[in-house]
Amino acid sequence: MSINFQVSNSGKSLEMVSTQEQIDKYIEEISRAGHPEKDNRHDPRYSVSCPITLQPVDEFLHPVSEYFETICCNISKNGISFMNNGKFDSELLFVEMPELVSSDRICVLVKVKHTTLILDNLYNIGCQFVVGEDH
């Protein structure tokens, strides 16, 4: 299934990443520059501070609110986390990741797995990549 989606105001429509191989290629480039975090996970997480654009969507992948930008905290082959000043009503989000040196921008569907209050109204949101027909 091929889905084109425009998340940011760049004026460009991106095809949604739908395979683990596409995500792995993007993570491989980040791993060359990043430092893996120490934890007990199967795949290493890489600390990053890069801008991402998010678009909350419903189960039919239709937008349910305006897109917005935030900062990615870490990324792995399985998912991504970021900070946000609130919780989401939607558990599905399109995430537009920035262009890297040798990788184009990518747009990937994620499912919110946890929302952790950090302080006041600041949350760490952990998401899992949704690949194929998993959503």
Residue 88's CATH number: 2.40.10.220
Query: Could you tell me the residue range of the domain that residue 75 belongs to?
Result: 15-32+45-130
Residue 38 lies in a domain: no
Residue 19 lies in a domain: yes
Residue 105 lies in a domain: yes
Residue type, 2: S
Write out pLDDT tens, residues 60-114.
999 999 988 999 989 888 999 999 988 888 899 999 988 776 677 888 999 999 9
Write out pLDDT tens, residues 102-118.
677 888 999 999 998 88
Residue 78 lies in a domain: yes
Residue 4 lies in a domain: no
**Is the pLDDT reported for residue 119 higher than 80?**
yes
Write out pLDDT tens, residues 1-40.
555 555 555 566 666 666 778 777 777 766 655 555 555 5
Residue 85 lies in a domain: yes
Q: In which residue are the tokens 């299934």 written?
A: 1
Number of domains in the chain: 1
Distance CA 37, CA 89 (A): 29
Residues 9-39, buried b or exposed e (16+ Cβ, 10 A)? Answer: eeeeebebbbeeebbeebbeebbeebeeeee
Residue 37 lies in a domain: no
Residue 79 lies in a domain: yes
Which of 99, 94, 48 has the alpha carbon at shortest distance from 74?
48
Which residues, other chains included, contact 85 with Cβ-Cβ below 8 Å and sequence gap of 6+?
121, 122, 123
pTM greater than 0.75: no
The predicted structure's pLDDT at residue 98: 80
Question: Could you give the percent of the chain with pLDDT greater than 70?
Answer: 73
